[in-house]
Amino acid sequence: MHTPKNSIRVGTGAGFSDDRIEPAVDLAERGALDYLVFECLAERTIARENLTRLKDPERGYTPYLVERFQAVLPACVRNGVRIVTNMGAANPLGAARAVRREAKALGIADLPVAVVTGDDVADIVRKNPQLPLMENGTPVESLLPHMASANVYLGADVIRDGLATGAPVVMTGRVSDPSLFLGTMLHGLGWSYDDYAKLATGTLAGHLMECAAQVTGGCFIDPGKKDCDDPVNIGFPYADIRADGHLTLGKLEDSGGRLDVMTCTEQILYEMHDPTSYITPDCILDITDVEFAQESKHRVRVTGAKARPRTPTYKVVVGYHDGYIGEGEVGYAGPNALARAKLAEKIVRERLRARGFTYPEIRVDYIGMSSLHGMGVSGKGRPEPYEVRLRIAARSPDRKAALAVGFEVRTLHVNGPSGGGGGSNAIREVLAVKSILIPRALVKTAVTVEGTL
Amino acid sequence: MSIKVYELGHARAGDKGNTSNVSVTAYSDEAWRILRSQLTAERVMQAYAEIAKGPVTRYELPKLKALNFVIENALGGGVTVSLAQDMHGKSLSFLMLDVELNG
């Protein structure tokens, strides 16, 4: 029988699908954690993984799943650290089976994995074509012929239910990022799903930790201006949460990076719009009264989170096929480099036009001058760079037209201005996303366990 | 005397769909006073004009000495469809830090 504790420690194991692996192993080994949470799903990951699953029904989970579990499972099993993750992507059941296979190879004969399903609502969306897109208000119907995925952001209640099975691992598809963390608190501290003061604190903790190193010195350093210790070995964060809602963030003493009021302030506003209304499936978080206080070098106390009741809807991310993007690059250096790059651009545009290709959008970058903030900013009274790399990219519903972009840049080597070097070209299929809201009552979730408890 | 935002505070950019948000956090009370009075939504819209259609909304967080700018139509249609190399707009925080104020 599960008894809630007075305090739990929750660590972050990954902040995105391709995140570093060593800091998670470090936390699992030395962090004295109760839970380790891996957030690995970007908006379009599930759409992409649905395509993988069509080719191989066993797959469709995030690419580094096996490597991550291989690295952290021994320490997690040894130290009793339970794992929560959305690495299941388009196939949580397949992911659970892959984890169990990996566990067996590591000598763990039967690792039970709780599997959360019900986030895939493609069938429900097809039956409700009138639902308006949040982006522009038009019905979702127009996307249906090209739809690759439709998944709701589930809340912390499914994580709580997964943990209640007793399985050491909870595997999900789409769950809102902070909810992955809040769910461990609902279960571990016995919090009520209607206690909004607690939901506020847990959601804020999750929001601060969901991007892993971004709160511990990652995405922060500006040499000479904002430095941190040992940037090579930036550690991931953990949180100590008490049943009464007392929250402290921490990182391991000898890990690299920094955790302080500055890193926390940057991260609390990351991907935040209106600070009074950060909407998750669990609550509407208000951070306007939040304050951070340094407790010791590696610990920050967090207070002041508030929340209003959750909305009656779930947000759905609809992934759909939206044509192709083709691109090519070539570099020029030395005297008159920019003029040669500009001539190259003109030649490519005219050759594409002569072949009969037109594009809804063509983008030209002079890398080193205008690829990030535009020529209007960087060209203003600043000297021309010694070298410049031309990049041309265009979108098209037609694969041939997209391919032609890189082709015409590539052929500049022999057929373009003098001294063009280091050409490259690529094409990719575009999986775009849009959002809708659906009533909660339409969504049916389930928790099953693979293995024997 | 003009002063760059870079001398007054630090910044971070995030993305949601086709919207970028850039936070600016003051280094000191004096810096906060200048940022709060001079780094207006209009000034930011002007700085981002070549990249974003806008509108720009500004939120104040006095307890954190921070401003949060929500810049709409800023990411070439959004991460998944953008033709830009920096499709998340991660570098947009340094465009904010390059803005000059009166000091």
Write the pLDDT tens digit of every residue in B33-76: 999 999 999 999 999 999 999 999 999 999 999 999 999 999 98
pLDDT, averaged across chain B: 96
CB atoms within 10 A of CB A232: 6
Residue type, B68: N
Same domain, A270 and A411: no
Q: What is the mean pLDDT of residues A212-235?
A: 97
Whether omega before B55 lies within 30 degrees of 0, making that bond cis, reads yes
| Nearest CA-CA distance, residue A269 and chain B, Å | 6
- Region A68-85 average pLDDT: 98
> What does residue A238 show for φ and ψ, rounded to 5 degrees?
-135, 165
User: For residue A448, which of A113, A94, A80, A61 has the smallest C-alpha distance?
Assistant: A113
Shared domain for A299 and A343, answered yes or no, is: no
CA–CA gap between residue B91 and residue A367 (Å, rounded): 14
b (16+ CB within 10 A) / e for A233-245: ebbbbbbbbebeb
In a domain, A423, yes or no: yes
Q: Is A238 contained in some domain? A: yes
DSSP conformational letter for A213: G
How far is the C-alpha of A76 from the C-alpha of B9, rounded, in Å? Answer: 40
Q: Is the pLDDT of residue A396 over 90?
A: yes
Which token pair is B64? 């954190």
| Domain identity same for A254 and A378 | no
Q: CB of A265 within 8 Å of any CB in chain B?
A: yes
Residue tagged 């902070």 (tokens):
A178
Range of the domain at B57: 3-101
Residue type at A324 in one-letter notation? Y
Q: Which amino acid is at A212?
A: A
Among positive and negative, which fits the CA dihedral A94, A87, B84, B44? positive
Helix, strand and coil in chain A, % to nearest 5 = 35, 30, 35
Residues paired with A169 in a beta bridge: A83, A113
The last residue of a domain, from among A291, A311, A331: A311
- The CA distance from A156 to A310, in Å, is 12
Question: Domain range spanning residue A290?
Answer: 7-119+154-311
Counting residues of chain A whose pLDDT is more than 70, the rounded percentage is 100
Longest distance between any two alpha carbons in chain B, whole Å:
42
Q: Identify the domain boundary among A311, A343, A373.
A: A311
Residue A396 to chain B, least CA–CA distance (Å): 11
Calculate the average pLDDT of chain A: 96
Q: Does residue A304 sit in the same domain as residue A362?
A: no
What percent of chain B lies above the pLDDT cut of 90? 92
pLDDT digits (tens, 9 = 90+) for A418-430: 999 998 999 999 9
Strands (E) located in A118-168:
147-152
- Tens of pLDDT, residue by residue over A262-314, are 999 999 999 999 999 999 999 999 999 999 999 999 999 999 999 999 999 99
Residue A431 · residue A320 · CB < 8 Å: yes
Span A115-161, pLDDT tens digits = 999 999 999 999 999 999 999 999 999 999 999 999 999 999 999 99
pLDDT of residue A1: 63
Q: Is B80–A135 a contact, with Cβ atoms under 8 angstroms apart?
A: no
Distance from the Cα of A179 to chain B's closest Cα (Å) equals 18
Is A286 in the same domain as A336? no
Examine residue A27 and state whether it is found in any structural domain, yes or no: yes
pLDDT level of residue B95 (50, 70, 90 thresholds): very high
Q: Structure tokens of A356?
A: 């009969």
Alpha-carbon distance of A89 to B70, in angstroms, equals 29
- Is a pLDDT exceeding 80 seen at residue A25? yes
- The verdict on A250 and A331 lying in the same domain is no
- Which DSSP category does B64 fall into? G
The C-alpha atoms of residue A285 and residue A81 are separated, in whole angstroms, by 28
Q: Which residue out of A265, A322, A362, A367 would a mutagenesis test of the B interface target, given it has the greatest number of B Cβ atoms within 10 Å?
A: A265
Is residue A401 in a domain? yes
Pairing of the two strands B100-101 and B3-4: antiparallel
Same domain, A102 and A238: yes
Domain presence at residue A129: no
Say whether both A158 and A288 belong to one domain.
yes
Confidence of residue A381 (pLDDT cuts 50, 70, 90): confident
Chain A: nearest CA to B57, how far in angstroms?
9
CATH number of the domain at B95, please.
Answer: 3.30.70
Residue A179 has pLDDT above 80, yes or no: yes
Which ipTM value was assigned to this complex?
A: 0.97
Query: Residue holding tokens 């207006």?
Result: B40
With respect to residue A148, please indicate whether it lies within any of the assigned structural domains.
Answer: no
Residues A188 and A300 in one domain: yes
* A300 shares a domain with A336: no
Distance CA A180, CA A192 (A): 16
Q: Report d(CA A149, CA A434) in Å as an integer.
A: 11
Q: Is A79 left (phi over 0), alpha (psi -120 to 50) or beta?
A: alpha
Q: Give the burial string for A381-393 (b: 16+ CB within 10 Å, else e).
A: eeeeeeebbbbbb
Between the CA of residue A21 and those of A59, A71, A395, what are the distances in Å?
Answer: 21, 7, 34
Of A287, A290, A431, the CB nearest to B80: A431
* Domains identified in chain B, total number: 1
CB contacts of B10 in chain A (<8 Å) are 222, 226, 262, 266
Q: What CATH number is attached to the domain comprising A356?
A: 3.30.70
Residues A192, A84 within the same domain: yes
pLDDT over 70 (residue A350): yes
The string of pLDDT tens digits covering residues A300-310 is 999 999 999 99
Check if the beta carbon of residue A225 is closer than 8 Å to that of residue A16: no
Measure CB to CB from residue B91 to each of A267, A362, A372 and give the nearest one: A372
Please indicate, yes or no, if residue A149 is contained in any of the structural domains. Answer: no
> Based on the domain organization, do A337 and A242 belong to the same domain?
no
Residues 378..407 of A with a Cβ closer than 8 Å to B: which?
Answer: 391, 393-395
The A residues from 18 to 57 touching B (CB cutoff 8 Å) are 42-44
- Beta carbons within 8 Å of A350's beta carbon, 6+ residues apart: none
Provide the 10 A C-beta neighbour count for residue A164: 14
